[in-house]
Amino acid sequence: MTVGIVGLGYVGLPLAVAFARAGERVIALDVDGQKVAAVGAGESYIEDVSSEELRGVLGQIRATSRYADLAQAQSIIVCVPTPLTANREPDLGPLTSSARALAQVLQPGQLVVLESTTYPGTTRERLVPLLEESGLRVGESLNVAFSPERVDPGRTDYTLQNTPKVIGGMTDECAERARELYSRVCDKLVLVGTPEAAELTKLLENIFRSVNIALVNELAMLAERMGIDIWEVVDAASTKPYGFMRFEPGPGMGGHCLPVDPFYLTWRAREFHMSTEFIELAGKINQQMPVHCVERIERALNDALKPVRGSKILILGASYKGGVGDIRESPALRIMELLAERGAVLSYHDEFVPALPELGLEHVPLEPAASEADAVVLVTAHPGIDYRALATQSALFVDLRGVTRGVDVANLVRL
Ligand SMILES: NC(=O)c1ccc[n+]([C@@H]2O[C@H](COP(=O)([O-])OP(=O)(O)OC[C@H]3O[C@@H](n4cnc5c(N)ncnc54)[C@H](O)[C@@H]3O)[C@@H](O)[C@H]2O)c1
């Protein structure tokens, strides 16, 4: 089988490698010439795929930027970005331009699966009409399905293979074709009746996380006022064997999914005269967290008789989560911006993020920056650093991730 993958980012590249490893031929397409060149040269730019792994299957992968090459594929999986516009409305630009380009090259009998996260109705109302400009008809000469990606970057226990994959086809035959396709790389497939059900499933999963993170963040702010250690509370509540699921407070939500995807549903809900209150409230609380964290840092410095202006502050971790270099929507950036506005002398340590040009900063080695800093602020806990030791050695250590819980020293402040 030949599988076409459109969009070689965090979702598309691992998928291309998975199909290639399963012995399929892969046509890997991106409009970004640098990515096409990198894939062609066996150089991975995604942490979840090592260059060795990519090179091991390069014989199976043909990287291209020409949509015409997809005519040879039996199945085409679309993994293009679905961001928000400046007004926080869905930006389906990449999706529609990809669908228009596909319509020029589609062949009878092909299957097109959309994996990009989006609002319910996108596949049927936006993707299908554009694909049908090819002259092919869904259910007759073309199959179309939606199957959300569930990848959690940096995670190794749950992979594409052992994470059940949800599929919603435009027709039963479409769903069956998609099931057959994904059974080559996934152990368990979950078929739902429509693409809309599959689209909403993905949003439910993301909204569930966003709302629960907001809940525990709100409690963290309250616990701080009450003088209660929120981490002790979360640890204790997590001992309940049923009816509770652990979520951790933190400096705010980052990454491409949680700060963005729920607003696709908010936007769509307006057409149905509904306002999605949980989503809005969770967004509001989570967006407030970097501001709260900066106030916490400011107060901690104040207690040490130091103003933020002129203080040397070392930020640990600029990406949005440990073990990855993705800085999209990272709360660390917002925290650094706010501290810079207040006149802090900033530096950051993050081996996954070599430079932050917009802030005019480059990654610095941990030492001597940590010993020279007036405050060391742990925003994102990458593996390989002894934070607990660092917390006791620093002039002031602000832990926004709870990794120092149990440590009780005067210079340590925890969210
Ligand atoms: N990153 C994640 O962890 C994750 C998880 C689940 C779902 N998703 C969803 O998957 C989709 C893709 O996310 P991602 O993180 O891989 O994005 P990404 O930005 O890493 O990659 C998308 C790729 O698509 C390419 N592209 C843009 N327009 C194109 C076009 N018209 N034709 C061909 N290629 C085009 C871009 O150049 C880019 O390389 C999004 O809808 C996202 O919400 C992402």
Q: How many CB atoms lie within 10 A of CB 60?
A: 19
Question: Could you report the per-residue pLDDT of 345-381, keeping only the tens digit for each?
Answer: 999 999 999 999 999 999 999 999 999 999 999 999 9
Report d(CA 123, CA 85) in Å as an integer: 20
- Residue to probe by mutation, ligand 1, list 67, 256, 324, most atoms within 8 Å of CB: 256
Closest CA to 335 of 214, 228, 250: 250
8 lines ligand 1 (CB under 6 A): yes
30 lines ligand 1 (CB under 6 A): yes
256 lines ligand 1 (CB under 6 A): yes
pTM above 0.75, yes or no: yes
Question: How far is ligand 1, taken at its centre, from the CA of residue 225, in Å?
Answer: 41
Question: How far is ligand 1, taken at its centre, from the CA of residue 388, in Å?
Answer: 37
Report d(CA 248, CA 415) in Å as an integer: 11
**Maximum distance among all Cα pairs of the chain, rounded to whole angstroms:** 74
β-pairing, 165-169 vs 143-146, is: antiparallel
CA 200 to chain centroid: 17
Question: Helices marked H in 114-261 — which ranges?
Answer: 128-131, 172-182, 195-226, 230-237
| In the predicted structure, residue 151 carries a pLDDT above the cut 90 | no
Contacts of 95 by beta carbon, 8 Å cutoff, 6+ apart = 78, 80, 82, 114, 116, 118, 122, 126, 127
Closest ligand 1 atom number to CA of residue 11: 16
| In the predicted structure, residue 256 carries a pLDDT above the cut 90 | no
Q: How many CB atoms lie within 10 A of CB 342?
A: 16
Question: How far is ligand 1, taken at its centre, from the CA of residue 251, in Å?
Answer: 25
79, 174, 186, 257: the active-site residue: 257
| In the predicted structure, residue 7 carries a pLDDT above the cut 90 | yes
Using left for φ > 0, alpha for ψ between -120 and 50, and beta otherwise, residue 369 falls in: alpha
Question: How far is ligand 1, taken at its centre, from the CA of residue 9, in Å?
Answer: 5
Report d(CA 325, CA 353) in Å as an integer: 6
Question: Helices marked H in 227-365 — which ranges?
Answer: 230-237, 262-271, 277-303, 331-341
67 lines ligand 1 (CB under 6 A): no
What is the average pLDDT score of the chain?
Answer: 96
Which two three-digit tokens encode residue 136?
């092919």
Helix (H) or strand (E) run with residue 391 in it = helix 387-393
Question: Could you report the per-residue pLDDT of 108-127, keeping only the tens digit for each?
Answer: 999 999 999 999 999 999 99
Q: What is the mean pLDDT of residues 235-251?
A: 97
Residue 79 designated active-site: no
Where does the pLDDT of residue 152 fall: very low under 50, low under 70, confident under 90, or very high at 90 and above?
confident
